[in-house]
Every structure is written in structure tokens, then in C-alpha cells.
A and B are shown apart, each in its own frame.
Chain A
């Protein structure tokens, strides 16, 4: 149980061992004013409901504590036969909701001498085992004979599995398992026929590619359950996200009641936003920390610098955060440090200890509060249980953990948390700091900022964290490629028929997909009488939960490498392999550098082979992008601007790469060919058209801008400053998208262009070569030539603006979500640019530079970008540009067909 009802009711009497202000005061180091910003968050009293108001006596009797209001609300909604999403804070007792519903169903079924089963899905196997134990204990305490069993890839095949299928009341699994097991649903007939509850725990983790697969697996599961005449209710539990109702409904394709009025008590919290102190600019390769003593030099910090350029102005969070961990435990605060990688979890423990000894004058008793251990999924299960237990019982003073402890594993409650860098999402941020806080006692949470875009945005704009909005979770079921793959599985599980029309997909979509697979020889039959699957056996096996088009690359160690170095990476989608895992690429994974030795694209089982390495550079791919044949499906006006959403083809060519020094960011070697094939994806995109008036004025305003390093005629054009503004605005909007949406920035791409029209589908070409889909340019150079050719043939002056697209075949729904939330994203982008104090017109990696840029971050123009965004958002009076409009209506320079990704 997340909520520990055996926890003694503590009062505010004994306060936290160290407050936020005390931390700032006592930390042994000169600090600049404002680098340690303390926010005081108020606490919340518990809102409870007597158990007997909600539960039958058999359950309310043995239950020790009163239900929190949100638990009672959720149980009441379930009583009304609604599906429920419980979106409340960490440790607020979400598990109890479905545990009690299982118990209710069990008692009701027992009364009529029947079975009631529940299928419970967790995102990780570790959580499954943890919760199996917790749920079994809970039912034991209630005196109920409900058997809870895990059934996943680690469950022994054969008799054990048969017994679980035939006897368990509650089966715990994960969605990769559900996908596989549906093939043999007849073996699950008893379990499915009695199933009246499905639980999707930590449902907010299902977003993006993974989320859309889960949405389809749930739909497949539902049609199988329907076949067994089961119509179970759903309980989803989610961290606080912006759109729990919408997200849950998208996952399960049914209405969902949201319960998010948190009735669990929390104490007040001191939230410290900690920007590490400045350090000397990198001179000789080592990042020397000026304010530290001589022995506190941290050399070789590759993990901090994977995506950074040379601007290392502050001590990295990787160095600073372990010191805070050490300091807090010294002051008797049991502390959990969250690190972004396993290696950093290990390293942080050592650094915490080193800090004590380096500062012996301050920490006069260095062994005080020094029981600190690492925790991550790389440790054995037994080892992890030991750490969990020692945390709970107070044997440990601190733990440095990956996000393995972010999701609901029960370790009791801490005094303090430290975050090594902003975890990327508010949802995750709150989830992690929720680990601190004993009952209603004051808690302390420290965010140690790294020097990345989002970290710096957050410490500059602390209000951002406190806004009620949390990122929206995006689940998209419009991706046809993913739909089509699950349709094959569905046909394999049960013949597709009329009853699937509307339920699984709309008729037209279903008919088209069935026809596609029939023509491909993989489905047979008709919806009227039943469509069966006749392709290669077990189509479920071809579902990759991390890719859309099925081509998924296994990651393996190269021949002859000791298996102990296995990076244990999830399989990779082709799009990522081409970008980040070409031969010769150096990638950092869990703090370890790997070099890609071999990529096998052709074989039936595509593979990436790695070997561990230790070099002083990382690699960065150069990418050419062109968009063709974009078709607008929806559009809306934002002031004078027009925003579109639609489909199109994106040609991406990661043709060369650079080796970049880990320290200093110098390019050690440039333009090395990747030997990659080009990638063509059909995807979803949104784009913004800038009105002529704004464009004309800004071209004029910035016509003297030049970029000396740029070569070619294009560098000379009067449009360069304005184009740099579009380019910078494109980078910034993509950069801040994760502030609004649960997206991975790397799944988005963009293209700023002076000629949007030449990227749109041209009517003239529509009837040429339709039969074979031929004639389309197959490489980026040809595509760019096509775009230029179209540009020269355009009859009217094209619009300028920028595209944002989903970088995954078929799309992810992110471009659509950005289309719908464009103003909010644009406002964030504007703030990001104006708040950055880099003082450079072309910006810095913390604002408008992007390490994925295909044009080497040229041209970029911050001021022009801000002007465009201000006009879009209506921040500036349209008249503000009046002064720059040329007097002569036709005096414009000839527009070059420029575009930048």
C-alpha cells in the first residue's frame, strides 16, 4: 500500500531536522544572493470519511484508518458503475481504492457463489512484485482469502502459469505481457469470464509511442473480455497530470470520472531551488570549482555534458547535489536523492562521502548520518528489498536512487528529497518530492539545477512549478501504422466482425485496414462473416511497444565483450537508430559511454551492437530535413497568423556526424559520414503562417543582420535576420514543449521556412505517378531541389513560418497537441528567450540553440524571434512594426527559398 496506515500519527510537535532557510545558512560555501531560493508551501489537513459510510461492515470493520475523501469519492463512483481515474499526490493511498474495490467485488461474488477476478497492470516488473506483496498483506489483514499473483515474463512457464490462470483472483502483469497473452485467451477463459475490474496503475506513464500501443492493447483486451461476456470497470491511478480525464478516456475508450481532490494530509514544505555556484570557465580540460578547496576538483564529468556546449558556468548538478545529500543527512534529515542514471546513483554516494572528508573542518564528525546507499534497477531484487527495508526502518540515513523509487514502491516517508537536475516534467517533479514528508510534519525538498534549458527556465521562473497546470499526457490513437498492427493481432485473437465496427474503429477505417491486409495476404474474410489472420504466426510478437512501424532494433553487446557490460537498453525504433546509433556514434547510457560498432539494418532481426568505451568526445549527428506534400486538415487563426494541423512527408537524412569534445565542446572531427540510409516518414505536423505585414516589417527591421561564418549566396540575403528569427522561434517552441506536454523533445522536429507553400502538396503533381507512388524524391538533396523548384513556380508570394512535426512514422499526437496548445507553448518560448541572460543575438544552448540542429544553429536571431512571438501572442500592438514597413509596396527583395531545421 502506498499509504501506510501503520504510520504513527505524528504531530507538528517535533519539527523537521533542518529547514530550507537553515540549509542555505549552514551550507559551508559562499553563495550568491538568489542562488538558493526558498519557497514555503503550505500543508493540507486530512479530509476523511468514516469507513462505514462507504464500505460494508466486513470491510469497514477490520480497516484501521478512516478513508481519505478522495478514496471515498472514488469508491462511491465505482459503486455507481463508473470508471475512475484517481489523480492525487504520491503516497495518497491510490492503491487502497482498487484494493477495496477488489475486496467488494470478491465479497459480492462470494455471496452468489461466483468468481470475481481483477487484472492489474503496472509499468514495471519491480513494481509488480512489490505490489503483489502489499496487496496480499492487505487482504490478509482484512481476513479475505483473495489470491494475488504476478504473471509476467519472469513467471515460470508450464504448470505455474496454468495454475495462476485457473486459480488466481487477481493477476498482476504489464502491458507487454497482456499483448502476448491475448493470443491464448482461451486458456484464460475462467479468468476473463469472471473479470470485473481492470486496473491501470501509474497510468500517466503511458504517453507517446508507448501510450498509443497501450491504448490499442486495452482495446484488444476489451473485445476479448466482451467475448467472454465480461464488461469490467476500470480504475486508473495517475500522478497529477494536466488532463487525467482526457488521457484516461483515450487509453480505455470509455468515459472516466476523475477524482483529484486530494484528501490525504501533507505537512508544509520548504522547497529550495538551488542553482549551483559559478565556476571558472573551462580552461585546460578540467572543470575546476573555484569556490571549492583544492582537493575538490571534479575531473571527467562526461555524464553532465552529453548535450551541452562549452558554456559551463556553474558547478554541475552532478557535483553539487551529492554534497547537499551529505549535508542534509549530517543534519539528521533522512534524505532521498534522485539521480538521472544508475551510474550517478552509485557515484553520488561516493561523492557524498568525499564531501564530508573534504570539509572536515565543518563536518567535525564525518561519520554522523553517513549510512547512504545507492538504489536502482541494476541491483538484485533482494538487494533492493534490503535497501527499501532499511529506509523504512530508519537504518539508512540516505539513498541515492534513480527514478526506480519514483513509482510507488513503498519505502516509507523521508524528511527530505534532493533532485539532481530538474526531472523534465512537473508531474515527475511532484511525484519525486512527494517522497519527503512524514505525516503532517514539515518536509524539505531541494532541486539542484543543472545548466540545461529546462532547469534554468525553472529556477528563473519558480512560479512555473507552482502553477496548477501540470503537463498534459498525450495518447494518440490516430496513428494508422500502430492501429494496423494491432488490428492483425485482434483478428488473430477473435475474428473481426460487425461488432468491431464502431467499437474497435470506425467502419471506414476498419474496412480500409482490413482491405490493406487482405491485399497483402495477411487477413482473409469479410467483416460480415468474420476476418481471420493468416499471416506469419503470432502477430503479437511483432508488436514493438517502443516503435510505430514495427522495425525495432535490438541493442546488443558486440562479439567478445564481457556480458557484464550489457547496457540492458530497451529496443530502439528505427528513427532513433538512424539519428543516434549510427556506426561510430558514442552514446552515454546510465553513465557509461558506448560506441556503436555495427548496425544491421537488413536482417529479419535488425540489431545495434555496442561496446563500452572511454573517450573524451561524444558524437552529434548533422541532420538535413525537408518537408513535402503537407496537407492541411484543420486550421485556425491566431490574430493575423494562421495555424494548421495536417499530414505530410518528412525526409530526414542524418548524413554526417561530428565528434565533439566532452570538455569545451570543441569539434574534434567534423562531417564524418554515417553510412545511413535516408529516412522518409509519413507523419503529423502543425505549422504557423506569419502574415505578410509582419514578415515585411521584420525583414526590413533586421535586414542588416549577417552571419560571417555562413557561406553561399543565401548568407547575403536581406531576409537572413528574419529567417534567423523564425529559426530561433522554431527551436524555442520545440524546446519548451515539454513544459506544457509530456513529450520527449527528441520525438519532435521542426523546419523554419520562408516558403511554406513549397512544402505543401501541389495540385499539379497530384495526378502524376499515382499508381506506384513513384516520382517522389528519395533523398534529401532531391527533395530540397523539388522544394526550390516548386518555390520558383509559385504564382503568389508564399507565406513564411515554421513547421513542427512528430519524428515518428505515422505521428504521435504531439504535433496535434501543440496545435491545440500553441499559444501556451509560444508564450513559454517567448519567456525562455527574453529571460535568458546570455546576451547574444544568436542565443545560447539554454535558449534558442539546439544540439540537434541540422544547420549548425545558423542563422539564429533572438530579437526577431521575440518580435514574431509578440505579434502572435498580441503582446505588441500591431502598429509597433509600422515604422519598419517599407513605403513602396513592391519594394520587397526577391525572397530566397530558405529553410532551416
Chain B
């Protein structure tokens, strides 16, 4: 997950900075290791900026506080790599020539301008780009400029082509990851990428790490503010964190030194919850997973291990499950079913998979990561629709969901900061194949194939699916070998299976496991 080719730019919303204790910010720095910290504009937040400068060793910048007036500044982010920043769009107009020439410098990865944002007017069925005319006046023509803005959520990636003279919208390309060509000499092409918080469950602040390289942004990872510091510990929400802070406990190390009796003196914290806090803090500190219960792993006692399954679709509301990958841990063989020829035919690939599964492995169980929310859900629906004669057999196959077992049913504690399979596997020492893909990208690539017939880099996309299947088995094995909490303490401390005493943790770990993006799990 952490390719170090370019520079890691941490985009922090001021509210997340102001609302978290300094120790949490230190945990952010230690965990994410940013090269540069960008405190998002467009509003001036000197206090937030001061906190960041106090905590982070990495250089920080906050565009609204730039001292260079209306001109453009250069912010080094790595050797030979810089980003250009302006206070706001008005600076683009004031010093358009300076901006233009700066952006032509090959060391510049991107321009930061925090008040560029989109405005949607549903009554007119129209989304426009704010400050388009300023951008048109200042950005170089004939090339694509990457623009970073904190006013748009991280993950936003659209290529706007603006007419040079007026800033009127010429066109908008929606898959710049696949195709990112400038539109012509009378157009300014600006690839707008968001660095702002994403809207999710509970509205808690999130922030992003942008992997920058000379071409712009290579990858983005998002985190919840509650994935760090004390709140990363299962069972500690904002209220408990505040109460602990009052007692001087602001880090996980300090939490581990706090006796259980002190914790149980807090409101709504019982023995079980207090112990789980300790256990999870230990997991996070050591990077070693732990099992909370005597519940066996799904399929653990079977004579043959489950088949590790992963599917790739053309979107979150899929019209085809175009790749079905299966890794058999018993033989260390990986098998992929891919529709390379006719994407309008969702049945063939599915049928090939079912023929093989039911014919060759009639007695094996399946294993997925969050499959009940995605893989099994869509496989079930597609088989019922396209292969009704296999529907009953499919229903009868035992299906396991390792994510559900570990997180949903609270049988284990994970060392990752998010529950994305890649992050968990990475935290458990899995060496990935470095395909630099995620589910959304592979879906977009397949959609382009469907539309244009341009073939995918099939090997790379198949390697991605295989990687997930193997990562899943890696996680499974690590769980299998993980110590049980009842083994290093009194047996009586084992919480009952399915205990929900700690379910109020506000981080993404136990939030509804709905899949909200193809990169999530």
C-alpha cells in the first residue's frame, strides 16, 4: 500500500486538527509518515496550522496563510518535486502569467487552489466549476494541469476542459485515470482532484494521503480521524476519549498502563469492554492480531480449507461480474474466470465458474472478505437471474465471510487502521503484487473496454484479483495462528461470542460494513 516512488502529501481538514488531541496527531504522523502536510483551505485557520506545525516534523503549508500575497508559491515535497500553491482563485487572476510559467516547470506535480470547487444546481441539471474563468486565464494550454483542492472530497477526479477565453466548459472527461489528454490549443485542461473530507457514516472527519509524482497524483488513501490515537481502540468513542484525557490518558501506551479498575470506573465501561480496550491497544501497538473468542475460524475444522474467492465487476451496481478469481490453499493453485470477449454476456463467465466449482469442487466451502455485502450478494443475484438451474446448488454451498467473522461477530482484533483487505493484509505482513490498482479503477477500465473495445492490460487486472485472493488466505492463516486472549489471561475473561458490549466504537472498524466504494474492502 505504501509505494515510496514520489512524495506522500497528507491533506488535513482544519476541523480534524482542532478536534483531536495533539497525541492523536502524533499518531497520525507516526502511522502515515507524510512528507508534507497540507492544512486545507479555503478558510483561514491559523490555530489549526499552528497545531500542525507544532506536532509534525514534516513541513506544513496552509494556502490561506501564504505570505507571498497574490503570487504563486512553490512548496518542495520531495527531491526535485514541488507543488505550486496560491492563496485562492483571485491570485490566479492577479498573477496569471507567473502561475502559467510555474506550472510549465516539470518539477511541479500539481497546483493547490482550495477555493476551486464544483457547484451542483439540480433545478438546472447542471454542475459547474467555480472559478473556471480564473483557471482558464492562468493555466497553461495544451497540457493537463493537476489541481488539488480541499473543497472537494478526496477521491474526486474529473478532467475539466475550459475554453481559454471565457472559462466556459468545453467538455468534462470522467476517467482521467485511463485517458488524460488535453483538449486543444484553445482550451485549458485541469484535472481536479479532491483532498477534502469524504462524506461517510456519522459524518466524522476523514483525511487523505495523496501519493504525488511528477505526473500529479498516483494514488489516494483515505482514513477516518477516529482511526488514530486513543479512538482507534475498539470501545473508545469521543466521549470516553475525553474522559480518559481528563485523567491524563491520551495515548495507547498510557492506556495500556492504566489499570482495568481505573477504566471500569468510567461511565458505561464494564470489565469486558475495559479488557477489550487493552487487548485492542496491544494489537495496534504490536501489529499482531488476536482472537477474542474460542470460536473456530470458518472452515477451520474442515478436512480441506475453503476456496478463497474474489470478484471484479464493472461498477458498484454491476451489470457483469467479469472476473471471478479462486485461490485453492490446498493445492496453492489460482484459477480465474474472465470475460474477455463479450461483455454484453454476463452468463458465460458465470457458467464457466459454476461448472468448474460444482463439478471439480463439489464439497468445498467458499471464503471471502465482506462477501455477504458484495461478492455473495451479486453472485447470488446473477446466478438466480442468468443461471436459474444452478440457483439451488449455489444456495447450498457453504459460504464464509472472514470479515464478518472477525469484525462483525467480534471474534478477532485487527491491527490495520481500516478494514480494507489490502490494509489488513499489509498490516499482517503480506507482500502484495503492487499492481497499483483498486476495485474502482479495475471497474472503470472494464467499463471502457465495454464501451470502446480497447482491451485491458488483462495480466495486470488478473494479477490484482489474484492478489486479493492470496491476501485473504494470508490473513486467514495469521488469524489461525493468532493468540487467543483467553490464553494469556484467565479463561473467564473471554467475552461471549457475539457480545455487543463494545459495538459503539465510532471508527470505521465496526461501522456498518456497507460497501461504499469499490476500493473499500
Contact = CB atoms under 8 A, between A and B. Distances in A.
Interface of A: 186, 189, 227, 479-481, 484-485, 491-495, 497, 509, 512-513, 515-521, 524-526, 528-538, 549, 604, 681-683, 770-773, 809-810
A809 B124 CA distance: 11
B127 A516 contact: yes
B319 A497 contact: yes
A518 B315 contact: no
B317 A492 contact: yes
Contact of A537 (B132, B201, B318, B444): B201
A529 B344 CA distance: 9
A521 to B, nearest CB: 4
Interface in B183-215: 194, 198-201, 203
A771 B447 contact: no
Contacts of A518: 158, 172, 174
B201 A189 contact: no
B130 interface: yes
A189 B384 contact: yes
Interface string B308-326: 0000001111110000000
Given A521-B156, A529-B451, A772 B440 contact: no
Contacts of A485: 122
B514 A538 contact: yes
Interface in B113-160: 118-133, 152-153, 155-158
Given A480-B125, A530-B319, A773-B128, A525 B314 contact: yes
Contacts of B58: none
A481 B133 contact: no
Contacts of A480: 122-125
Nearest to B162: A771
B167 interface: yes
Nearest to A484: B122
Interface string B444-482: 100100110000000000000000000000000000000
Nearest to A767: B166
A89 to B, nearest CB: 40
A54 B200 CA distance: 55
Given A516-B122, A537-B514, A771-B133, A186 B380 contact: yes
Nearest to A810: B123
B516 interface: yes
Given A772-B130, A772-B131, A529 B122 contact: no
Contacts of B174: 518, 524
B127 A520 contact: yes
A186 B314 contact: no
A141 to B, nearest CB: 36
Interface in B502-521: 512, 514, 516-517
Nearest to A773: B128
Contacts of A497: 319
13 contacts: A480-B125, A481-B122, A484-B122, A495-B319, A512-B125, A515-B127, A515-B172, A516-B127, A532-B315, A770-B166, A771-B132, A771-B167, A772-B167
Contacts of B243: none
Given A495-B314, A537-B200, 11 more contacts: A479-B123, A480-B122, A493-B317, A494-B317, A528-B451, A529-B343, A530-B447, A534-B440, A537-B512, A770-B166, A810-B123
A771 to B, nearest CB: 4
B377 interface: yes
Nearest to A193: B384
B381 interface: yes
Contacts of A186: 377, 380-381
A3 B158 CA distance: 60
Nearest to A481: B122
Contacts of B317: 491-495, 530-533
B168 interface: yes
B444 A524 contact: yes
A521 B121 contact: no
Give the 9 A-B CB pairs with smallest separation, nearest first: A532-B315, A519-B127, A481-B122, A536-B199, A682-B123, A495-B317, A529-B450, A521-B156, A484-B122
A549 B517 CA distance: 25
Interface in B423-448: 440, 443-444, 447
Nearest to B315: A532
B458 to A, nearest CB: 18
Secondary structure type dominating chain A contacts? mixed
Contacts of A528: 450-451
Interface string B278-322: 000000000000000000000000000000000000111111000
A696 to B, nearest CB: 38
A529 B314 contact: yes
Nearest to B152: A521
A528 B118 CA distance: 26
B179 to A, nearest CB: 13
B186 to A, nearest CB: 15
Residue of A189, A526, A771 contacting most chain B CB atoms (<10 Å): A771
A547 to B, nearest CB: 12
Nearest to B517: A534
A656 to B, nearest CB: 28
B480 to A, nearest CB: 30
Interface string B169-189: 000101000000000000000
A536 B200 contact: yes
B319 A529 contact: yes
B200 A682 contact: no
Contacts of B443: 532
Contact of A549 (B122, B157, B385): B122
A516 B318 contact: no
A484 B158 contact: no
B127 A484 contact: no
Nearest to B516: A537
Contacts of A549: 122-123
Contacts of B119: 773
Contacts of B319: 495, 497, 529-530
Contacts of B450: 528-529
A549 B133 CA distance: 27
A491 B316 CA distance: 9
Contacts of B385: 227
A515 B381 CA distance: 28
A494 B381 CA distance: 12
Given A495-B315, A604-B203, A517 B127 contact: yes
Contacts of B118: 519-521
Contacts of B512: 537
B158 A519 contact: yes
Contacts of A531: 315, 317
A524 B166 CA distance: 28
B346 to A, nearest CB: 11
A683 B133 CA distance: 28
A681 B385 CA distance: 45
B516 A521 contact: no
A485 B155 CA distance: 21
Nearest to A682: B123
B120 A516 contact: yes
Contacts of A512: 125-126
A530 to B, nearest CB: 4
B389 to A, nearest CB: 16
A526 B451 contact: yes
Contact of B132 (A520, A529, A604, A772): A772
A519 B123 contact: no
A433 B418 CA distance: 62
Given A186-B381, A521-B118, A516 B126 contact: yes
Nearest to B511: A537
B466 to A, nearest CB: 24
B122 A771 contact: no
A1 B157 CA distance: 56
B123 A521 contact: no
A327 B124 CA distance: 58
Contacts of A520: 118, 120, 127
B457 to A, nearest CB: 19
Interface string B202-235: 0100000000000000000000000000000000
